[in-house]
Amino acid sequence: MLRVTSRVLAGVVLAAMPAAAVAGPSFQFQATLTPLNNSGVTGTAQFSLNGDQLTYAVQAQGLTPNVFHQEHVHGFLNPVMPSVIPTGSNADVNGDGMIVDIEADRITGGELVFLTAHPTGTSFGNTFSDFPVADAAGNINFTQTYTLEVPQLVAPLNIRAVELHGMFVGGTYEPTLPVATGLITPIGGTGATGVAVPLPAAAPAGLMLGGLLAAAALLRRRRSLV
């Protein structure tokens, strides 16, 4: 069942690139992770969005140890259509008791930002496995700042969701299977500016995140042929 689900997000050009260090950013948004597919994964995520700078921090437990876990901001291109938490009743289309990636995306929307583990400049298409790796206890504690090429397609952040993927099913690791999701909401209910929350210590330089959305590269290639 190992597969990569392709999507066409026309006009989405969101590259996660190494951003210059900015002193004292504050988190404005948060999400509580809800387990999917009986994964037992829990945790919290926090975000700030200032212009084209998106800062993401996640603390998650109960993940499959020592393997990568895909992480994304999900949402719809329609700016007034909010993400919804997928459940067996609203997302399990074929009734097999599992919510696979394509079923979840009908409810949460497609990937808008790939929260990958290295900056752009890695090989094209490395948005499949280039993600944070859970430690031997199944925990991820991860922070990074991204530069968005088209931040308008991510905002408003408070109608988006964050989703984590990857667990074993029948002895096979399924990297695209959703294991936890959370709706992104303003901290303290104060709207887009949020409440100032101290940013955790920066991740090691070798753990800088990045990645280029495949649709963006495809659009650029097509334009170069015109």
Segment 174-208, tens digit of pLDDT: 999 999 999 999 998 644 433 333 333 333 333 22
Confidence (pLDDT) at 124: 46
Q: How many angstroms separate the CA atoms of 209 and 206, rounded?
A: 9
Domains of the chain are 26-225 (2.60.40)
Q: Which residues make beta-bridge pairs with 102?
A: none
Confidence (pLDDT) at 206: 31
211: left (phi over 0), alpha (psi -120 to 50) or beta: left
Confidence (pLDDT) at 188: 81
Confidence (pLDDT) at 199: 34
Mean pLDDT of 117-122: 57
User: 9-23, 108-122, 132-146 — which one is most confidently predicted on average?
Assistant: 132-146
Label residue 31 by pLDDT band (50, 70, 90).
very high
Burial class for 156, CB neighbours closer than 10 Å (0-12, 13-18, 19+): middle
Q: How many angstroms separate the CA atoms of 226 and 215, rounded?
A: 17
Tokens linked to 191:
């709207």
The owner of tokens 């109608």 is: 159
Mean pLDDT of 133-137: 97
